[in-house]
């Protein structure tokens, strides 16, 4: 096991993400495509520094050597952010500093938060994806295409009800809402179809943010255009009074949706600030959906370089669990190693001794040397390492170092990681770029050489109820699950309708290993309440709602949008 390296020294001052991004020496996107081994001319340029990769590339790349497949996850996130995206980007860059090639696969960020709470989703510092204004705005329009396809189905469902409701759908059991890629609280709960007969049937419904659309999850989980078409058809938009599912196929909309999503199915190619290839594709929510980037992007990337680094949303109990049990189940791909990002700050918060608020300065108590609090909070780290090892995957803990950390605090993390059988390294990629993650990359190389014993947490044949129990007890550390009467009825209904083989996505808070956001560390002695169970039959999973899960954010009193503008030189300001 590698020893902890000293913090690298650097003379580079830490400028703002935007300033750093503007210093980047970008290469033409065709050159980045060449690094992936893609044949000349296959890339479809979208501007000079973004390209789409046609799905023919999956077949085209298949004869090339296979990369090691590395999933990046984290301790349970705190409002501070643990730096999972920067670490994914930094690690991929780090491989290039030890003579290996690598590609990183990320989700496309939603514009909602970009204009809501300040914060891009392109990494940061010297570990970011460029051009940052492309990734944080429309990119190549994939999210817009998902919005359009989703809302076409919404209009077709209402039109179906308006023109005779041939499927016999129960007006009180229409399951399909609408979506918009904006934080708009006023759209959460609305009544449509008002103003007279010509405007359709009045009914209660609402909008979610596009990342929460099942269409987004379908885009992420389909492994070909045909599979996309098939999955779209399987989307359940409502139920008949006798409990039969009415699908997008029944409504006659799945073909048109597939046509709308044809270009969106092609992964987007970008680069990091060090010209490492980046695949950006799909952005499903991390609670009601599986929170991972697309299968087709990984299918292309897995034959593109020595290592393919892919990021899973939220903590290892959420994103990584779904990576293993939903994404890998659908793709048939197997990870060779997992990276778990941990921070001193995060583990201090997990000690339960400190309250932090996003965007506010850290309290003084967080900034003093305090290895004891790190040790208390490390219960979370311990459990998340366990969660990764449950799936038979070698683990490397990446300590994402901050200037306010102390060596004694890093030492505690390293000790806990080693106790749990994980490798561990300190990384400074935000400040130092790939050079700051070279030791991490070396540890990942070693971990990925170990024989892989990947296994899923549960077989598809396991009953839906048991799947939820298994995830809650083995991953979250619950004593058990309490299903509401409604949830029990839904589970029985879905099983009877032939959906019992689906994996389950548990929609709980991401801010705790438990289903109670206020519990830090690794809570024990609690039971998980399941309020309701819903179906994403097109995406291919059921999801269990534990507590209030918001699928449409609101804007704050001072939204980021108010500070974003174009300056006299025509440049974007205030975006991040």
Residues 95 to 154 in contact with its own copies, rule: CB under 8 A:
111, 115, 133, 137-138, 140-141, 144-145, 147-148, 151-152, 154
For its own copies, the binding residue among 33, 104, 113, 158 (CB under 8 A) is 158
For its own copies, the binding residue among 256, 457, 462, 549 (CB under 8 A) is 256
The stretch near its own copies (CB under 8 A) out of 78-86, 124-132, 253-261, 457-465 is: 253-261
For its own copies, the binding residue among 5, 98, 170, 188 (CB under 8 A) is 188
Q: Which of 176, 153, 170 is nearest to 249 (CA)?
A: 153
For its own copies, the binding residue among 168, 241, 252, 359 (CB under 8 A) is 252
> By CB under 8 A, is residue 295 in contact with its own copies?
no
Beta strands 532-536 and 541-545 are: antiparallel
For its own copies, the binding residue among 15, 62, 171, 194 (CB under 8 A) is 194
Count residues binding its own copies (CB under 8 A).
79
CA 351 – CA 111 distance, rounded (Å): 33
268, 142 Cβ separation under 8 angstroms: yes
Binding residues for ATP: 78-85
In angstroms, what is the minimal distance from the CB of 186 to its own copies?
4
In angstroms, what is the minimal distance from the CB of 57 to its own copies?
14
352, 86 Cβ separation under 8 angstroms: no
CA 249 – CA 275 distance, rounded (Å): 43
For its own copies, the binding residue among 34, 170, 184, 532 (CB under 8 A) is 184
Site for its own copies in 203-232 (CB under 8 A): 204, 206, 225-226, 229
Binding residues: 78-85
Q: Can you name the residues that pair with 396 across neighbouring β-strands?
A: 339, 423
The stretch near its own copies (CB under 8 A) out of 58-66, 123-131, 186-194, 472-480 is: 186-194
Q: Can you name the residues that pair with 69 across neighbouring β-strands?
A: 308
Burial 157-187 (b: 16+ CB within 10 A, else e): bbebbeeebebebbeeebbbbbbbbbbbeeb
Structure tokens at 99: 């003579």
For its own copies, the binding residue among 36, 102, 106, 575 (CB under 8 A) is 575
For its own copies, the binding residue among 60, 119, 193, 352 (CB under 8 A) is 193
In angstroms, what is the minimal distance from the CB of 553 to its own copies?
10
For its own copies, the binding residue among 259, 357, 411, 517 (CB under 8 A) is 259
Name which of 68 and 229 has its Cβ closer to its own copies: 229
CA 254 – CA 403 distance, rounded (Å): 52
Place of tokens 């560390």: 521
In angstroms, what is the minimal distance from the CB of 259 to its own copies?
5
Beta strands 268-272 and 127-130 are: antiparallel
Site for its own copies in 331-370 (CB under 8 A): none
In angstroms, what is the minimal distance from the CB of 172 to its own copies?
16
For its own copies, the binding residue among 199, 365, 408, 460 (CB under 8 A) is 199
DSSP annotation string for 205-267 = E-EEEGGG-HHHHHHHH-SSHHHHHHHHHH-EEEE-TTS-EEEHHHHT-HHHHHHHTTTTTSP
In angstroms, what is the minimal distance from the CB of 111 to its own copies?
7
Region at 557 (left for phi over 0; alpha for psi -120 to 50; beta for the rest): alpha
CA 424 – CA 141 distance, rounded (Å): 39
In angstroms, what is the minimal distance from the CB of 179 to its own copies?
10
Structure tokens at 328: 């890998």
Beta strands 102-106 and 307-311 are: parallel
Site for its own copies in 25-84 (CB under 8 A): 44-48, 52
The stretch near its own copies (CB under 8 A) out of 196-204, 276-284, 338-346, 518-526 is: 196-204
The stretch near its own copies (CB under 8 A) out of 287-295, 458-466, 532-540, 566-574 is: 566-574
Site for its own copies in 440-459 (CB under 8 A): none
CA 340 – CA 459 distance, rounded (Å): 25
In angstroms, what is the minimal distance from the CB of 44 to its own copies?
5
Residue 309, φ and ψ in degrees, nearest 5:
-100, 125
Site for its own copies in 465-494 (CB under 8 A): none
* Structural element, H or E, at residue 311: strand 307-311
In angstroms, what is the minimal distance from the CB of 33 to its own copies?
14
Site for its own copies in 535-564 (CB under 8 A): 554-557, 559, 561-564
């Amino acid at each position: 096991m590698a020893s902890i390296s000293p913090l690298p020294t650097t003379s580079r001052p830490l400028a703002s993400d935007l300033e750093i991004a503007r210093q980047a020496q970008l290469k033409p996107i065709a050159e980045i495509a060449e690094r992936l081994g893609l044949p000349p001319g296959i890339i479809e340029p979208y501007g000079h520094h973004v390209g789409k990769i046609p799905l023919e590339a999956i077949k085209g790349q298949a004869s090339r050597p296979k990369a090691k497949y590395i999933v990046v996850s984290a301790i349970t996130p705190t409002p501070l952010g643990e730096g999972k995206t920067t670490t994914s980007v930094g690690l991929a860059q780090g491989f290039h500093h030890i003579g290996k090639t690598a590609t990183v696969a990320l989700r496309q960020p939603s514009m909602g938060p970009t204009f809501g709470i300040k914060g891009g989703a392109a990494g940061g510092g010297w570990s970011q994806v460029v051009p940052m204004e492309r990734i944080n705005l429309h990119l190549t329009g994939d999210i817009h295409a998902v919005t359009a396809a989703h809302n076409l189905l919404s209009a077709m469902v209402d039109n179906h009800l308006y023109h005779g409701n041939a499927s016999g759908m129960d007006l009180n059991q229409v399951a399909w809402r609408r979506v918009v890629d904006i934080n708009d609280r006023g759209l959460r709960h609305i009544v449509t179809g008002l103003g007279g007969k010509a405007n359709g049937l009045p009914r209660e419904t609402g909008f979610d943010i596009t990342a929460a659309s099942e269409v987004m999850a379908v885009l992420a989980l389909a492994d070909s255009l045909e599979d996309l078409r098939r999955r779209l058809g399987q989307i359940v938009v409502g139920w008949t009074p006798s409990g039969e599912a009415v699908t997008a196929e029944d409504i006659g909309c799945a073909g048109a949706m597939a046509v709308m999503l044809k270009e969106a199915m092609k992964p987007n190619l970008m680069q990091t600030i060090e010209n490492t290839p980046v695949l950006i594709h799909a952005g499903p929510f991390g609670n009601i959906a599986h929170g991972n980037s697309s299968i087709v992007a990984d299918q292309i990337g897995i034959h593109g370089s020595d290592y393919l680094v892919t990021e899973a949303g939220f903590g290892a109990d959420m994103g990584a669990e779904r990576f293993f049990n939903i994404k890998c189940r659908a793709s048939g791909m197997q990870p060779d190693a997992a990276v778990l990002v941990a921070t001193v700050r995060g583990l201090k918060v997990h000690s339960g001794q400190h309250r932090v608020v996003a965007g506010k300065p850290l309290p003084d108590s967080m900034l003093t040397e305090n290895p004891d609090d790190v040790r208390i909070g490390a219960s979370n780290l311990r459990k998340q390492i366990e969660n990764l090892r449950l799936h038979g995957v070698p683990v490397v803990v990446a300590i994402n170092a901050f200037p306010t950390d102390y060596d004694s605090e890093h030492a505690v993390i390293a000790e806990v990681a080693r106790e749990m059988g994980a490798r561990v390294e300190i990384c400074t990629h935000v400040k130092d770029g790939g050079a700051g993650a070279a030791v991490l990359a070396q540890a990942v190389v070693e971990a990925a050489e170990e024989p892989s014993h990947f296994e899923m947490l549960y077989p598809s044949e396991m009953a839906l109820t048991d799947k939820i129990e298994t995830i809650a007890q083995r991953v979250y550390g619950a004593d058990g699950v309490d299903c509401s009467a409604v949830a029990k009825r839904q589970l029985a209904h879905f099983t009877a309708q032939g959906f019992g083989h689906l994996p389950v996505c548990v929609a709980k808070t991401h801010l705790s290993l438990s289903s109670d956001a206020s519990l830090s560390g690794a809570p024990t002695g609690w039971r998980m309440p399941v309020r309701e169970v819903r179906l994403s039959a097109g995406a291919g999973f059921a999801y269990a709602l534990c507590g209030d899960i918001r699928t449409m954010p609101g804007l704050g009193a001072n939204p980021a949008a108010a500070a974003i503008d174009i300056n006299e030189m025509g440049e974007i300001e205030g975006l991040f």
